[in-house]
Amino acid sequence: MIRISDKSLCCGCTACVSVCPARCIVMRRDREGFDYPVANPDMCLKCGLCEKICPMLNPAQKVEPVAAYAARCESRTMAASSGGIFPLLAREVIENGGVVCGAALDSSCMVEHREAETIDELSAFSGAKYVQSELYSIYEDVKCRLDEGTKALFSGTPCQIAGLRSYLRDEYENLYTVDIACHGVPAPGLWEKYKTALEKQYSSNLKNVEFRDQSNGWRHYNIRYDFADKTVKVPRLKDPYLTLFLQDMTLRPSCYDCRLRNGRSGSDITLGDLWSVAQTAPKMNDDNGVSGVLINTEKGRELWAKIAEDLTLQQLTPSDVAKDNGGFSEKSTTMPEKREEFFKGVHSAKNLPKYMRSYVVRKPLLSLYRKLRSLLSSLKRRILK
């Protein structure tokens, strides 16, 4: 029977929930806002299957990429966080009678995994989602599709891909998997509280959120909140939710020493931002977004070949793609010293955005600049007097 005594060993993939023959495992949210499996001992058959298929307890061997690229779709028809690669892969599968599974916002702006069977439905998957998604029964739904002989493309974080593959246990020729260069995942419960606080602040219901609104460019993106009666854009380094995510404060415990990213998820293709574009692909360095792509399997290479003619490409090495993007790195992420303190105070915070802002770590140079600016302003006032 599965017991979570060390939360750093659970990525929340839900493979154990889906595989349990007794249906005795459910996901329950902890005080930090993350979901963990809990088993009912009275129903448990003690088969041990949940632990046997856990990708965190049984991580796969690292797979070296077979190819690497800088890539961009110039004729993007859907919003994209970088080079617009995923929509092309998804379209290829849909047009050949397949189904695509990915992360989308639900009606309350929470993130869930769902299926898309038409091109129009794919738009819900576009753009980054900086919240761990609810998987519900998606693994079981994918298995039903695969057993029927339907092609399926499943996209998600490395741990979600690893969880699906562990749950399936068999290799399916009609399954394609795409993971992201993952920075880590923030708590769904924290996002829900923050969203509620914003709705109170702006006296309006949140209808949509674009975590990476690129109206100011690919590098200097905003987070855009679409309320019922207004739209609010906040620069990425001024929004406390986004900044604390980027500063690693709000990640799941397992994210700080992830066992499943960087070639260990079993994905066919890995996509991420090519932040090193100025050095590795300078001809594409125009702030319009470029993807770093790792082709990990021969199956991934076959799917890639079907969309390659629609892309602007430059072949790179895997190390070129990984440069300046920590999501491709094998190094552990350092847990902030005040992380535990931060989460303990979330529940009692009367003004959550203000509370979160107090934990944002300012860059030393920015802090110094502000002090100098304040000093100069003070001196100017004295001179004028």
Please give the Cα distance from 26 to 23 (Å, whole number). Answer: 8
Residues 6+ apart with CB under 8 A from 9: 56, 57, 254
Taking 90 as the threshold, does the pLDDT of residue 78 lie above it? Answer: no
The listed CATH number (1.10.3470, 3.30.420, 2.60.40, 3.30.70) that belongs to domain 7-52: 3.30.70
Question: Would you state the torsion angle of the CA atoms of residues 346, 352, 353, 358, taken in this order, to the nearest 10 degrees?
Answer: -50
Q: Please tell me the predicted confidence (pLDDT) of residue 368.
A: 55
> Does the pLDDT of residue 376 top 70, yes or no?
no
Q: What is the pLDDT of residue 369?
A: 44
* Residues of the chain above pLDDT 90, percent: 85
| Residue 139 burial (CB count, 10 A) | 25
Residue 251 DSSP label = B
Strand segments (E) across 188-330: 206-213, 222-227, 231-235, 269-273, 291-295, 312-316
Let me know the angle formed at the C-alpha of 270 by 267 and 276, rounded to the nearest 5 degrees: 160
* pLDDT tens, residue by residue, 287-332: 989 999 999 999 999 999 999 999 999 999 999 999 999 999 878 8
∠ CA(132), CA(134), CA(139), 5° rounding?
115
What's the mean per-residue pLDDT of the chain? 93
Determine the pLDDT at residue 5: 83
pLDDT at residue 178, rounded to an integer: 98
pLDDT at 181 over 90: yes
Q: What percent of the chain has pLDDT over 70?
A: 93
**Do the bridges between strand 99-105 and strand 152-156 make them parallel or antiparallel, or are there none, so unpaired?**
parallel
**Dihedral pair phi/psi, residue 113, rounded to 5°:** -90, 135
Query: Could you tell me the pLDDT band of residue 374, with boundaries at 50, 70 and 90?
Result: low
**pLDDT tens track for 114-167:** 999 999 999 999 899 999 999 999 999 999 999 999 999 999 999 999 999 999
Q: Give residue limits of the domains in the chain.
A: 7-52, 61-385
- Please give the model's pTM, rounded to 2 decimal places: 0.92
For range 203-232, the mean pLDDT? 95
Instruction: Using the predicted structure, report yes or no on whether residue 363 has a pLDDT greater than 80.
Output: no
